[in-house]
Amino acid sequence: MKEAFQIGQLKAEQGEKISGFLPIDGTNLEIPITLINGAQEGKTILICGGLHNAEYVGIQAAMELADELEPENVFGNIIIIRLLNRSGFEHRTMSLVYEDGKNINRVFPGSASGTVADKIAYMMETVIYPHIDYFIDLHSGDGFEGLESFVYCLGNANDYVVETSRKMAEIAHVKYLVVSESNSGGAYNYAGKLGIPAILLERGGNSTWCKTLVEEDKHDVKNMLRFLGILRGNAHLHGMAPKQVSPVTYEDAPVSGCWYPVYQPGETFREGDVLGVIKDYFGKEVFTCYAKHGGIMMYETISLCIMKDSPMVAYGVWDEEKDGRITKECSVCGEDEKHFGEDHEARHAHKHVS
Ligand SMILES: [Zn+2]
């Protein structure tokens, strides 16, 4: 007989699925979760949606996975957090916790005596992490972010964690993979530090979601579960693993103002190319962002508003000599990437503003 699986007050017996709320101690918040106690013995995995509440593809995928996965096909246990940052969701913030304006992915390991975001992280660390062997964190581009779908795996952890995380990530049906070097701050990075293999899947952007992207997320998660032996069946592997484009250069805005990005997420460029400019409210250019190396735009701010010290661009290493892909055609004039490479004036004239 397999043991009952309990998180907080929620308890699922062998072969049972149960949904309900998990309180965040010291707050009025309750987080919707689902527990699946598989019919067979096995490992325990956490699938988390809505750590960032405006990243809707991951939230909808987590909710649908909770409904679709059935205990009779599960070996071990599955914890699904349907929506972690609930107060942010209900106030439609751009993913910051409503009560304190903090990003949950900057406060790990949390604290019981901190503000709400710290307490949410503390709950994850003390209530959820002690149970889990693996972790899949589902994200998207936020309301102000355009994003090329990709997967993060852990690079700064013990060998077992690094290898397992990479194998999980390579199952994702996305074009690119980024190896994270950070091992603190974020839910997924911190899990790695504790010895838990974890991946972070990024799919969709601009706080939009659609059935196709949700299906792709679910497809990837189910394949990872099969690969890990938690879900019955064989992982359906795609011909080509995602291509590594790390390290990633993350650049924050040095000033507030209006932001005019030049490239779309997924487009490539060369060292020294202009990635975007910040203008003041009178149209005067106050900052020009140049590519520090040839790169592929993983995600970037796409809102007209950009704030000092907030994310501006995140681009991975791309070497055109080693990579047959070329920049997409310009959606304005239809010319190819060589045109983009000629000079900055030409690029400004064909700015991709969405
Ligand atoms: Zn996110």
pLDDT tens digits along 302-334: 999 999 999 999 999 977 666 554 444 555 555
CA of 13 to the centre of ligand 1 (A): 33
Is residue 19 located within the same domain as residue 34? yes
Is residue 23 located within the same domain as residue 100? yes
Kindly state the average pLDDT of the residues 258-273.
96
Is residue 194 located within the same domain as residue 292? no
Is residue 119 located within the same domain as residue 236? yes
Is residue 295 located within the same domain as residue 268? yes
Is residue 229 located within the same domain as residue 333? no
Look at residue 236 in the predicted model and tell me its pLDDT: 82
Does the pLDDT of residue 27 top 60, yes or no?
A: yes
Does the pLDDT of residue 350 top 90, yes or no?
A: no
Our count of domains for the chain comes to 2
Specify the higher pLDDT residue, 26 or 349.
Answer: 26
Of 177, 209, 205, 206, which Cα lies nearest the Cα of 296?
A: 177
Residue with tokens 């950070």: 182
Within the chain, residue ranges assigned H as helices are: 56-68, 86-90, 116-123, 159-171, 187-193, 211-227, 337-342, 344-349
Does the pLDDT of residue 41 top 60, yes or no?
A: yes
Within 130-194, residue ranges assigned H as helices are: 159-171, 187-193
Is residue 237 located within the same domain as residue 284? no
Is residue 227 located within the same domain as residue 117? yes
Rounded CA-CA distance 158/91 in Å is 39
* Cβ pair 291, 271 in contact under 8 A: yes
CA of 205 to the centre of ligand 1 (A): 10
Structural domain includes residue 354: no
CA of 1 to the centre of ligand 1 (A): 39
CA of 4 to the centre of ligand 1 (A): 32
Give 182's pLDDT tier (boundaries 50, 70, 90): confident
Structural domain includes residue 64: yes
Is residue 325 located within the same domain as residue 259? yes
What confidence tens digit (pLDDT) does each residue in 81-97 have?
999 999 999 999 999 99
Structural domain includes residue 218: yes
CA of 52 to the centre of ligand 1 (A): 5
CA of 153 to the centre of ligand 1 (A): 14
Q: What is the CATH number of the domain that holds 299?
A: 2.40.50.100
CA of 94 to the centre of ligand 1 (A): 10
Single-letter residue type at 17: K
Structural domain includes residue 216: yes
In sequence order, the β-bridge partners of residue 288 are 277
Specify the higher pLDDT residue, 328 or 270.
Answer: 270
What confidence tens digit (pLDDT) does each residue in 233-248 have?
998 877 778 999 999 9
CA of 142 to the centre of ligand 1 (A): 7
CA of 186 to the centre of ligand 1 (A): 10
For residue 342, the enclosing domain spans: 247-349
Q: What is the CATH number of the domain that holds 203?
A: 3.40.630.10
| Region for 260 from its dihedrals, namely left if φ exceeds 0, alpha if ψ lies in -120 to 50, beta otherwise | beta
CA of 140 to the centre of ligand 1 (A): 6
Residue ending a domain, among 243, 265, 289, is: 243
CA of 122 to the centre of ligand 1 (A): 18
Is residue 273 located within the same domain as residue 222? no
Which pTM value belongs to this model?
Answer: 0.90
Look at residue 257 in the predicted model and tell me its pLDDT: 98
CA of 250 to the centre of ligand 1 (A): 15
Is residue 170 located within the same domain as residue 289? no
CA of 40 to the centre of ligand 1 (A): 33
Is residue 239 located within the same domain as residue 292? no
Look at residue 40 in the predicted model and tell me its pLDDT: 98
Residue ending a domain, among 198, 222, 243, is: 243
What proportion of the chain, given as a percentage, has pLDDT over 70?
Answer: 90
Rounded CA-CA distance 146/315 in Å is 12
CA of 215 to the centre of ligand 1 (A): 18
DSSP track, 44-75: EEEEEE-SSTT-HHHHHHHHHHHHH--GGGBE
What confidence tens digit (pLDDT) does each residue in 193-232 have?
999 999 999 999 999 999 999 999 999 999 999 999 999 9
Structural domain includes residue 15: yes
Look at residue 354 in the predicted model and tell me its pLDDT: 36
Structural domain includes residue 129: yes
Look at residue 281 in the predicted model and tell me its pLDDT: 98
Look at residue 185 in the predicted model and tell me its pLDDT: 87
Specify burial of residue 8 (Cβ count, 10 A radius: 0-12, 13-18, 19+).
middle
Look at residue 303 in the predicted model and tell me its pLDDT: 97
Structural domain includes residue 181: yes
Tokens (6 digits) for 206: 């601009």
Residue ending a domain, among 186, 215, 243, is: 243
Give 124's pLDDT tier (boundaries 50, 70, 90): very high
Residue with tokens 């709950």: 123
Structural domain includes residue 271: yes
